[in-house]
Structure 1
């Protein structure tokens, strides 16, 4: 998978700034997009390791339920340690990737405001703060992504406005939210599991959660690449006046 988003070469510097944004100019998101492609690959790697750890724990609990004497203490300890390591690696990879993603998200949101001043419903600071508002963070970033997507859509060849389907945005956000909710539930179930049957159920839920994380990370890369390419294409067009 190529790390560089497709699209025309970026002008240096970008060709224009919105006149009413007090000097705010376009900044290329390509470097951040490349870094995110690498980081999301790392996230996928840790998630796959977690899937393996979940499957291993689930298999151990199946053996315990069938015959408790068939599983040694050493195997149980290794399974528990593997899950702990997987969780630590996932947390570290997710934290670093999340920080870089929010920086990229704020940059493309700022660029969108230059492309179409006043078109976005929330101030660009929400591209950062919106992720940290309980409950609302399941909706605010999505709306910002939709507005940014619309403002970043390049003009048609004749200078008229055109629409690009929101499939990449909707798929990424839908799986991301589902993965987040299932992950929270899985962590709660695993934290309260004390019996072999409960651990078996928890491992199954964690396996589903980690598999969803893999899909969400892959869709996030597609979203980042597509939006970055759209902004490059629109930046290269300059301040085109849309046809009436």
Structure 2
């Protein structure tokens, strides 16, 4: 990474993103509910096939329930993702005001990091790590590079549970799209969707805590931009988290 000096953004100022964070938190909670509903529908499909395997009406009903909940779950996830990314974009602007330190990824990656395959397994964590570091009052406003500031256990826990839920959820999705109809396949889907729901719930709780933490950091810290914060602290060392 280059050691470029960031431009002074004189065309904007700090803003509280508490309302946007609250909206993201509510939608994240909705995703948790729909995830468990989807897991229940997988169990219902398994039970229906096992008990009423020769009844087309019952099987069609189970398929309708599963498909409907799948659509609702996808819409909830999309809504939560959009609002969370908008919140992330806005708190990134605040973070750039608090600290001149170079972020590991440009602002465009705040959106792109979720969409690009493979790198979406670690870029989003780095984006959030840098925002948290820049927002923390313990971080010197003149820190040259935010990657030198240790990450937090909260971000680590949130990201690991999210990735675990994402991986198990994708396995379930592939099984459903393959038209799983045998009892063994459906039983596997029930297990994996339940595991995915557990990880997703954990990630959702941690995400809400993370949103609250960033809001606290950015609203409790004096709104003094880095270029007006005086000279760097002598002997500054990145704070332990």
Same-fold status (TM-score > 0.5): yes
User: How many residues are paired up?
Assistant: 219
**1-structure distance, mates of 2:76, 2:37:** 12
Specify whether residues 201 and 121 from structure 1 end up closer, same or farther in structure 2 by C-alpha distance, changes over 3 A only. closer
Unaligned runs of 5+ in 2: 1-5, 144-148, 235-241
Runs (5+) with no aligned partner, structure 1: 1-17
Q: Which has the higher contact order (CA 8 A, sep 6+)?
A: 1
How far did residue 202 of structure 1 move?
2.2
User: Corresponding residue for 2:195?
Assistant: 208
Moved over 6 A (4+): none
- How far off its partner does 1:176 sit? 0.9
Partner of residue 55, structure 1? 43
Instruction: Select the residue among 93, 99, 109 that pairs with 2:82.
Output: 99
Is residue 2:230 matched to residue 1:230?
Answer: no
Inter-partner Cα distance in structure 2 for 1:60 and 1:19: 62
Residues 1:59 and 1:116: Cα distance change in structure 2 (over 3 Å): same
- 1:182 paired with 2:168, answer yes
TM-score (norm 1): 0.79
1:30 CA drift (Å):
0.9
Q: Which moved more, 1:33-42 or 1:97-106?
A: 33-42
Normalised TM-score (structure 2): 0.79
User: Distance between the aligned counterparts of 1:205 and 1:133, measured in 2?
Assistant: 25
RMSD of Structure 2 on Structure 1 (CA): 2.7
2:154 matches 1:168: yes
Residues 33-182 of structure 1: pairs in structure 2 closer than 5 A: 33-63=21-51, 68=53, 72-155=55-138, 166-182=152-168
1:57 deviates by 2.2
Aligned-pair distance for 1:62?
4.5
CA distance in 1, matches of 2:154, 2:188: 33
